[in-house]
Amino acid sequence: MKGNKLDNASSAAKYKLSAGDKVFSVINYLVFGIFTLICIYPFYYMIINTISANDLSAAGDIRFLPSGIHFSNYQALLSLNGLGTAALVSIGKTVIGTVTTVLATAFLGFMFTQERMWKRKFWYRYVVIIMYFNAGLIPMFITMKTLGLTNTFWVYIIPGIVQPFNIILVKTYIESLPKSVQEAAEIDGAGVFRRFWQITLPVCTPILATVAIFAAVGQWNSYQDTLIYITDQKLYSLQYLLYTYINQASSLAAMVRNTGMQGMSAAALATQQTPTSIQMTVSVVVVLPILCIYPIFQRYFVKGIMIGSVKG
- Per-residue pLDDT tens for 88-113? 888 888 889 889 999 888 888 888 88
Mean pLDDT of 159-184: 80
Q: Within 10 A of 151 (CB to CB), how many other CB atoms are there?
A: 14
Helices 275-309 and 19-50 meet at what angle, rounded to 10?
A: 140
Q: Quick check: 147 pLDDT over 80?
A: yes
Question: Three-class SS of residue 215?
Answer: helix
What are φ and ψ of residue 273, in 5° steps?
A: -85, 125
Q: Distance between CA atoms of 30 and 21, rounded to whole angstroms?
A: 14
The sign one gets for the Cα dihedral 15, 19, 21, 25 is positive
Q: Domains in the chain, ordered, with CATH?
A: 18-80+248-309 (no CATH), 83-235 (1.10.3720.10)
Any idea which of 48-57, 107-116, 216-225 has the lowest mean pLDDT?
48-57
The number of CA neighbours under 13 Å toward the Cβ of 215 is 33
How many CB atoms neighbour CB 28 within 10 A? Answer: 10
**155-168: buried (b, 16+ CB within 10 Å) or exposed (e) per residue?**
bbbebbeebbebbb
Taking the whole predicted model, whether its pTM rises above 0.85 is answered as no
Per residue in 265-298, pLDDT (tens digit) is 443 443 456 667 777 777 787 777 777 777 776 6
User: Residue-wise over 98-111: b if at least 16 C-beta within 10 A, else e?
Assistant: bebbbebbbbbbbb
For residue 312, the 8-state DSSP code is: -
Q: Please name the residues in contact with 89: beta carbons below 8 A apart, sequence gap of 6 or more.
A: 153, 156, 235, 236, 237, 238
